[in-house]
Amino acid sequence: MPSNVILSINAGSSSLKVSVFSYHPHAPSSSHPTPLATIQVTGLTAPPATLRYDRGDHHIKSQPLPETDVNSQETAYEYIIHHLTSDAGLPELSHPDDIEFACHRVVHGGDYDKPVRIDRDTFHRLEELSDLAPLHNAGALTIVKAVHDKCPQASNIAFFDNAFHHTLPEAARTYAIDQKVAKRNKLRKYGFHGLSYAFITRSVAAHLAVPAAELNLIALHLGSGASACCIKGGTSIDTSMGLTPLDGLPGATRSGSVDPSLIFHFTHDAGKLSPSSAKGMHITEAEEILNKKSGWQALTGTTDFGAISAKAEQGDAACRLAFDIFVDRITDFVAAYYVKLGGKVDALVFAGGIGEKGAQLRRAVVEKVACLGFAVDQGRNERPDGEAVVTDIGEEGGSSKHRVLVCQTDEQAEMARECVQDADGLRRPA
């Protein structure tokens, strides 16, 4: 039976990641696509860019790329397509026309609550939404154009990182400001990391053998961007990020929640356009400072939270403070969401790069919320099962009233799965 190819594309400000999947068009819509390869170009803003490629047993770890060939997202995509179609070990994708779907992670989708095929009208609506998230949507739209140029037969599909949170109750999503202005300018809490939370919900439901519609979770997606989500009956009822991903937990270069008036005391140029602004992308000094010049980078000089954790243990005061701030803010959300769920919590779930790798952080967070009935097994916390999608690190038969889990989240796989599920509806008309 011939298979069709799906690309799941994640465009960051300085990187481009593409995962390749295949699926059989006549298989049931509940079937999962097969992962074939993952390719990533990083360092686009700090050349030379480097390539990472994984296909089965074939791996390229960190290959520098010629600056003359790869110096932008467009040239990175061009390089990626050439690399994939030239790989004899990937016969499913020997020509750009073999790609049926290109799935794009779009951070801010406004009121879109499900994936949509990108046509001219949709593209213009997404461009308009870039005013809400100038730092986050521009990269995805650049790659949509590149796919349209290089892979004209592919259907471009937008997957929105805020869509999972369309179930937020009105009180949770509404800001206490003039509602006429709020509605006109679409100012409300949207929430993000939705593809990750959808993957976590589905994976944990399968792990616990509980229907997703009966699942209550406190989920933590902790990476260079970090957020928390309160999931009741398989749906989002609150989340830490807000109108943009800046709200809530601090991150590698983001401040997280601060007193809104702080920025006017920090700089007198808060409302002026940042030098990072470009045509069609208006970024103020305030957005630049709080999104790009804050977080752990500002506190410690590094964005590597693994290094921060290690130095905190060794007594480095700045790293200890950054570590403690992160733990403090995370526990605030865990406690609040525990109350929102009335104590009926199936699991506290750690995910994202730091959530999955940071044993020290997991232990510190769980110790802070031990009074709520969470506890980790020290051995399992230090060495979770690297092969399993979901691993239980909670203390067995001891003081742990609720499960503590680690989930290896996969936003690329979630896009491919949702694409297969609704392939007929998303496919471009012949």
Binding annotation for Mg(2+): 10, 411
322, 299 Cβ separation under 8 angstroms: yes
**Whole-angstrom Cα Rg for the chain:** 21
For residue 219, what is the DSSP state? E
**Would you call 315 exposed, middle or buried from its count of C-beta atoms within 10 A (0-12, 13-18, 19+)?**
exposed
Instruction: Give the Cα separation of 158 and 272 in Å (integer).
Output: 32
State both tokens at 200.
């976590």
Instruction: Give the Cα separation of 93 and 21 in Å (integer).
Output: 10
Among the listed residues 410, 300, 291, 425, the one whose alpha carbon sits nearest the alpha carbon of residue 356: 410
Distance of CA 132 to the CA centre of its chain: 17
Please list the alpha-helical segments (H only) found in 12-63: none
Count Cα atoms within 13 angstroms, Cβ side, for 329.
22
230, 252 Cβ separation under 8 angstroms: no
Q: Is 241 helix (H, G, I), strand (E, B) or coil?
A: coil
Beginning with the edge strand found earlier in the chain, give each strand of the sheet holding 50-55 in spatial order: 58-64, 50-55, 34-42, 16-23, 4-11, 99-106, 155-160, 116-117
Residues 6+ apart with CB under 8 A from 317: none
State both tokens at 184.
């006109």
Distance of CA 156 to the CA centre of its chain: 19
402, 96 Cβ separation under 8 angstroms: no
> Which positions are annotated as active-site residues?
161
Instruction: Give the Cα separation of 72 and 114 in Å (integer).
Output: 29
Residues 6+ apart with CB under 8 A from 269: 285
Instruction: Give the Cα separation of 381 and 369 in Å (integer).
Output: 16
Bridge-based pairing of strands 16-23 and 4-11 is antiparallel
